[in-house]
Structure 1
Amino acid sequence: METLIMVGQLLLGLSILVGVHEWGHMVAAKSFGMRVEKFSIGFPPKIWGKQIGETEYSIGAIPLGGFVKITGMIDESLDTKTLNAEPEPYEFRAKPAWQRLIVMLGGIIVNIIVGVIIFIGLSMVNGETYLPKEELNKHGIVAYDLGQQLGFQTGDKILSINGRDYERFSDLLSGDVLLGSDNYFLVDRNGEQIKIDLPNDFIDRISDGGKRIPVFEPRRPFSIGEVVKGSNADIAGLTSGDRILSVNNQPSSYFDQFSTILDSLRGDSVSLLIERGNAKLNLKARVTEEGTLGFQAYPGLNFVERDLTFGESVVVGTTQAFSAIILNAKGFGKMFSGDIDPRKSVMGPLGIMKQFGGTWDWNRFWYLVGLLSMILAFMNLLPIPALDGGHVMFLSWEIITGRKPSDKFLENAQKFGMVILLSLMAFVIINDIINF
């Protein structure tokens, strides 16, 4: 069932993104009087189609893209049978270069608009929730294995990133940090300031087949939330609101301390020092074979939660949307420089499907659709023949020089671009299967 939900979200998300992208091309083309022969979401074979006016609208069986067929345009269909005749007024090739340029940018522009609108909407609905620096540094961090390899220790208090102050915990592992170069943290460790350098392949180190390897997280004091009836915690007399100060005389005020101690005492009886209101109590409990007692932990961290006005949502959402493009550009730069291994960082349909998850969460769904919309805009702008960016490159040359590349050149460039795209698609899919 989880697989079906992941597939369903992937297909719906791709259909929305491809649909609005191709709609952008079609609307721009029709507005300039160009004939649009076909509008398809998905690639052939066709599983549904309907002719409306001059345009056939269809759905293809391969949901990994789509296309708009504009008369007189050399595109991925490589249909050149009409190019030897004089262009008709309704053909793509008969229109001024600036109009053709707008048509090729239409899909990219609509993807950007859709991405921005989605992020603005999410900002309005969800507001902001974050852990401020001051609250984080009351208790410090819990350093996991990768964090310890980099030089962090549990209890470190992070003072700055690259010599600059930060506002919230999420800033510490933001895209700028993951994709930056020569980054470093300054931490306070028992009153001593220590510099920790991050490697330039940091993003590779935290990636494992599309999953994020944890580096560190906020250290959490905790109290007992809901106690499971009939559990060892219930039998021992623990109640909601209790704080466990120690286990077998070992300090356990932080959840990482508590869980580590219980993991080493599976199946054993333990002595608990409990704080209940102003009183301290000693209780006996048995640890399960799974290393638990049977209660939910309530984290004792004070997060900032606030609603955003429409104006604030526009600023926050727009910033988040365009950050996706900037970070993708940085990621490409690091791949070409050799700092990032494409096998760990490039994600295809299976990887994206896993990101949607096995439960239908509309908030996560729309976040990923908005993110993918911005990434699709960036990818399509790359100057590769067969992509929109390839057409934009040749049209820009025509506008600047006043000389149009020959149809034969454009046809060969399109073939070359298709070879590149098919090779990239094969790499991505094979890499996805390996990671999956």
Structure 2
Amino acid sequence: MDFVIKISQFLMSLSLLIVLHELGHFIPAKLFKTRVEKFYLFFDVKFSLFKKKVGETVYGIGWLPLGGYVKISGMIDESMDTEQMQAEPQPWEFRSKPAWQRLIIMLGGVTVNFILSVLIYIGMSYYYGEKYLPIENIPDGLFIENVTANEAGLKTGDLIVAVDGEKINRYSEIPEKVLFGKNITIKRQGRDSIINMPEDFLAQMIDGNQRGFINLRLPFVIAKVPDTSFNKNSGLRKGDVIVRLGNIETKYIDQVLPALDVLKGQEVTASVLREGSNISVPLKISDDAKLGIVYGSITEDNLEQLGYYQFETKKYGFFEAFPVGIKKTGDRISSYITQFKAIFTPSTGAYKGVGGFYAIFNIFPATWSWEVFWGITAFLSIMLGVLNLLPIPALDGGHVMFLLYEMISGRKPGDKFMEYAQMVGFFILIALVLFANGNDIYKAIFG
């Protein structure tokens, strides 16, 4: 069932993004009276799952879910229809249109991607608002039990207050900024200090298959006391929070294991938080420093109720949500470009983290959440827009590059040159797809 939910979200998001992207090319092409021969969701290699001709355009669904396309008459594209290009240009063809019209047609797809992201973020801001944890509401620092991060100099209890001189305001900003940052300002025991991160920090994280390296410090919450446990008669209940073992404070999980190691083989009086009150319970600690109980997860609401963290929620009116949506899209574009720069800087090792369709599939959760779905879809829309702007001939960005050259120089690249450029771009694109999906396979086998 989990797989069905994940694949449903993946295909729904991918289909929406592809159709709207291609619609971004289709609409201006029609406005400029350019003939569109095909409009396809997914690729129809050899055959289609569905197709229907309406007017001059065949609308269809292919069987290969690796993208989609519109086939515009008189344009060198992935179809490599060179026969059409050998005939005399017709007034309804792409190549017969002024350069500025062709530029608008080519930029239509990525424009729709960015507009879609803005609209999604506007809708989410208005409907859900923003729930976040301000840095100043983290009283005892962060949980950083990660070999690579620890070797770099970060440790549990540190509060990250700035990255590369830029102040951190919210907890959610921290992980990404640290991954791509150079100088991390931390507050440790009331004093600020700067840690210089290794250039290949991200590569080390990927090589070690380490994720979630920075987290909130969480309480030790009882999920279950098994019938076979030597503490089954202690009085512990599901939902209890162990805040002290003997004379050792254990407000957080990371304090429990060291305390158990010190107290192993003993019987101690523990203090647990239950429904707002402190309750004393007798606990046995085994010789191998175990309690014989199962601890569980905790929600943000419960963290607030227990007094650990105070989250803030900001609500937006309809018109207030517009600048928020625009800013979020701008911030995500900037963030994605930063990641892209790192990928093409070999010394960072970021290229090792590049993923393909399986990596995108895994972003979606195994439980259905419209809030999460729309958030992921907005990010993927930005990703699709930025990727398509790359100056590779097989992508929109490649066509835009040649059109700008034509508009500036006044000389149009020849059809033969465009054919060869398209072929080169296609092979580059295939290589990138193989590399990204090959990374997925490698991680699945050896990760």
Alpha-carbon distance in structure 2 between the residues aligned to 1:252 and 1:345 = 36
Q: Report which stretch shifted further, 96-105 or 253-262.
A: 253-262
Q: Aligned letter for 2:142?
A: I
Q: CA deviation at 1:39?
A: 0.5
User: 2:337 aligned with 1:329, yes or no?
Assistant: yes
Aligned partners of 2:224 and 2:293 also within 8 Å: no
- Going from structure 1 to structure 2, the CA distance change for 1:14 and 1:290 (only over 3 Å counts) comes to farther
Aligned partners of 1:108 and 1:377 also within 8 Å: yes
User: 2:359 aligned with 1:351, yes or no?
Assistant: yes
Aligned partners of 1:235 and 1:285 also within 8 Å: no
Name which of 308, 314, 332 aligns with 2:316.
Answer: 308
Q: CA deviation at 1:424?
A: 1.2
Query: In the TM superposition, what whole-angstrom CA distance separates every residue of 1:235-294 from its partner, at most 9, and x where no partner exists?
Result: 433468966442143221223213554699899865313467998653213579785356
* SS at structure 2 position matched to 1:301: coil
Find the counterpart in structure 1 of residue 383 from structure 2: 375
Q: Aligned letter for 1:14?
A: L
Find the counterpart in structure 2 of residue 237 from structure 1: 235
Name which of 126, 129, 144 aligns with 1:127.
Answer: 129
Alpha-carbon distance in structure 1 between the residues aligned to 2:266 and 2:361 = 42
Find the counterpart in structure 2 of residue 141 from structure 1: 142
Name which of 420, 428, 443 aligns with 1:420.
Answer: 428
Alpha-carbon distance in structure 1 between the residues aligned to 2:431 and 2:362 = 23
Query: In the TM superposition, what whole-angstrom CA distance separates every residue of 1:138-191 from its partner, at most 9, and x where no partner exists?
Result: 2222221233222123223444333443322223224x44334x32213233x4
Aligned partners of 1:343 and 1:431 also within 8 Å: no
Alpha-carbon distance in structure 1 between the residues aligned to 2:292 and 2:200 = 36
Q: Aligned letter for 1:38?
A: K
Q: CA deviation at 1:82?
A: 2.4
- Going from structure 1 to structure 2, the CA distance change for 1:267 and 1:104 (only over 3 Å counts) comes to farther
Alpha-carbon distance in structure 2 between the residues aligned to 1:234 and 1:78 = 72
Alpha-carbon distance in structure 1 between the residues aligned to 2:365 and 2:285 = 32
* SS at structure 2 position matched to 1:82: helix
Query: In the TM superposition, what whole-angstrom CA distance separates every residue of 1:373-405 from its partner, at most 9, and x where no partner exists?
Result: 111111111111111111111111111111111
How many residues end up aligned between the 2 structures?
Answer: 430
Alpha-carbon distance in structure 2 between the residues aligned to 1:48 and 1:235 = 65
* SS at structure 1 position matched to 2:64: strand
Alpha-carbon distance in structure 2 between the residues aligned to 1:411 and 1:245 = 70
Q: CA deviation at 1:11?
A: 1.6
Find the counterpart in structure 2 of residue 255 from structure 1: 253
5 Å matches for 1:19-418? 19-44=19-44, 45-136=47-138, 138-145=139-146, 146-174=148-176, 176-180=177-181, 182-189=182-189, 191-207=190-206, 213-220=211-218, 235-238=233-236, 244-258=242-256, 261=259, 270-274=268-272, 282-285=280-283, 291-292=292-293, 298-299=302-303, 300-418=308-426
Q: Aligned letter for 1:52?
A: V
Q: Aligned letter for 2:150?
A: Q
Alpha-carbon distance in structure 2 between the residues aligned to 1:280 and 1:21 = 57
Q: Aligned letter for 1:116?
A: V
Aligned partners of 1:179 and 1:327 also within 8 Å: no
Scaled by the length of structure 2, what TM-score is found? 0.86
Scaled by the length of structure 1, what TM-score is found? 0.88
* SS at structure 2 position matched to 1:103: helix
Query: In the TM superposition, what whole-angstrom CA distance separates every residue of 1:339-387 from its partner, at most 9, and x where no partner exists?
Result: 3335532111011111113222222221111111111111111111111
Q: Aligned letter for 2:133?
A: L
Query: In the TM superposition, what whole-angstrom CA distance separates every residue of 1:182-226 from its partner, at most 9, and x where no partner exists?
Result: 32213233x4443212223333344469x762333233467x688
Give the superposed CA RMSD. Answer: 3.1
Q: Percent identity?
A: 40
> Gaps (5+ residues) in structure 1?
none
Alpha-carbon distance in structure 2 between the residues aligned to 1:263 and 1:18 = 55
- Going from structure 1 to structure 2, the CA distance change for 1:227 and 1:412 (only over 3 Å counts) comes to closer
Query: In the TM superposition, what whole-angstrom CA distance separates every residue of 1:15-59 from its partner, at most 9, and x where no partner exists?
Result: 111111111111110110011110011112311101111100000
> Gaps (5+ residues) in structure 2?
none
Find the counterpart in structure 1 of residue 18 from structure 2: 18
* SS at structure 1 position matched to 2:70: strand
